[in-house]
């Protein structure tokens, strides 16, 4: 990793630029097909390319976007003018990234837990992705909350995989996004989410240390600490901020440069309000607290687009608005009133 240290730091310098965050546009084909189908949009290579091209060419997006996580299919696609989509981003000063995991499978010995696949041949794939313009990567491990899950084995095994992935990426000169996601599904309380998230992050950073991963050259992409979707009461932004920051201060080294939260099933305004509350109340946090949202940036866009070329301008305006809201939240200057100023 030492030979690539300056390269990694140069990538991170772009990622942490003031007011900017990351768009997660790396939905797998089955996932984006499900979202398209709900809106009556046919999912094929052409429609997926058109939608992602809409996002990447949105006027003004470069003011709020430091990077975009791509799905493998997208990395090889071209815009209408024949320019590779990765180059469309790069020319606007937006770094292309790439999802490199291969999805989850049940973890033997830990009923209810899963583990992510894709370590075999990873270094060779990274070389190819880098040649296509990728500057950073993403790997996601997921943890469902039940009375029994995640198990100790599930927590430790997933941490080990994340650390192995991150080490390979740094050796290849690509900044790894380390994404341990405690899922929002369930009836659990915010206290239970905090308990699990703290255990997960503690295990992840212990594994990163064992594998000699340079924590100053990673991006952490965790969940916010929130109650389950089916819990009787939603938490306020202040409650989410307090719980999340408490867990982060107990587990995440100050050497980590940036924490880019996933939205994890929250609505666009919920994710924005919660991120804003963290930045508004803790201006002395040792890390940048930013965003790497997927649906919290894309849901209004996809709903307006509906697969029609005639709707592109309206969809791009909605995307730019959500980016601006997320950017304000990164600075702790968002307010609900700004949502209506369009």
150: preceding bond cis by omega (within 30 degrees)? yes
Burial of 121 (0-12, 13-18, 19+ CB in 10 A): exposed
Give the DSSP H or E segment for 11: helix 5-15
Distance between CA atoms of 223 and 180, rounded to whole angstroms?
Answer: 7
Which residue of the set 20, 99, 138, 221 is catalytic?
Answer: 221
Residues facing 99 on adjacent strands:
138
Q: Could you give phi then psi for residue 213, rounded to 5 degrees?
A: -80, 135
3-state secondary structure of 98: strand
Give the DSSP H or E segment for 245: helix 237-251
Which residue of the set 27, 72, 160, 179 is catalytic?
Answer: 179
Distance between CA atoms of 122 and 129, rounded to whole angstroms?
Answer: 10
Q: Could you give phi then psi for residue 221, rounded to 5 degrees?
A: -125, 85
179 is catalytic: yes
- Contact yes or no for 204/253 (Cβ under 8 A): no
Burial of 108 (0-12, 13-18, 19+ CB in 10 A): exposed
45 is catalytic: no
Residues facing 215 on adjacent strands:
none
Structural tokens at position 74 = 């997208």
Q: Reduce the secondary structure of 254-302 to three states and give it as a string.
A: CCCCEEEECCCCCCHHHHHHHHHHHHHHCCCCCCEEEEEECHHHHHHHH
- Contact yes or no for 106/157 (Cβ under 8 A): no
Indicate which residues carry an active-site annotation: 179, 221
């Amino acid at each position: 990793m030492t030979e690539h240290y300056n390269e990694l730091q140069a990538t991170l310098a772009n990622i942490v630029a003031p007011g900017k965050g990351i768009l997660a546009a790396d939905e797998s084909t089955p996932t984006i097909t499900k979202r398209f189908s709900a809106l009556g949009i046919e999912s094929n290579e052409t429609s997926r390319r058109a939608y992602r091209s809409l996002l990447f060419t949105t006027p003004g997006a470069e003011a709020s976007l430091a990077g975009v996580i791509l799905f493998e299919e997208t990395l090889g696609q071209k815009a209408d003018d024949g320019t590779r989509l990765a180059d469309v981003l790069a020319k606007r000063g937006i770094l292309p990234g790439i999802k490199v995991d291969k999805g989850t499978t049940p973890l033997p010995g830990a009923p209810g837990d899963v583990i992510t696949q894709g370590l075999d041949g990873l270094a060779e794939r990274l070389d190819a992705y880098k040649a296509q313009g990728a500057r950073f990567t993403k790997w996601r491990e997921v943890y469902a909350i039940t009375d029994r899950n995640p198990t100790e084995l599930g927590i430790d095994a997933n941490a080990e995989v994340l650390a192995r992935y991150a080490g390979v990426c740094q050796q290849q000169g690509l900044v790894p996004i380390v994404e341990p996601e405690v899922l929002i599904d369930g009836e659990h309380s915010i206290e239970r989410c905090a308990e699990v998230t703290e255990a997960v992050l503690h295990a992840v950073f212990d594994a990163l240390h064992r594998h000699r991963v340079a924590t100053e050259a990673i991006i952490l992409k965790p969940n916010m600490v929130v109650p389950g979707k089916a819990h009787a009461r939603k938490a306020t932004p202040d409650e989410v901020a307090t719980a999340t920051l408490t867990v982060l201060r107990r587990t995440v080294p100050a050497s980590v440069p940036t924490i880019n939260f996933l939205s994890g099933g929250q609505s666009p305004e919920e994710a924005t309000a919660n991120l804003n509350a963290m930045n508004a109340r803790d201006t002395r946090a040792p890390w940048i607290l930013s965003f790497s949202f997927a649906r919290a940036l894309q849901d209004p866009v996809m709903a307006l687009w509906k697969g029609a070329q005639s709707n592109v301008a309206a969809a791009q305006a909605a995307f730019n608005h959500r980016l601006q809201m997320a950017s304000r939240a990164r600075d702790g200057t968002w307010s609900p009133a700004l949502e209506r100023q369009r």
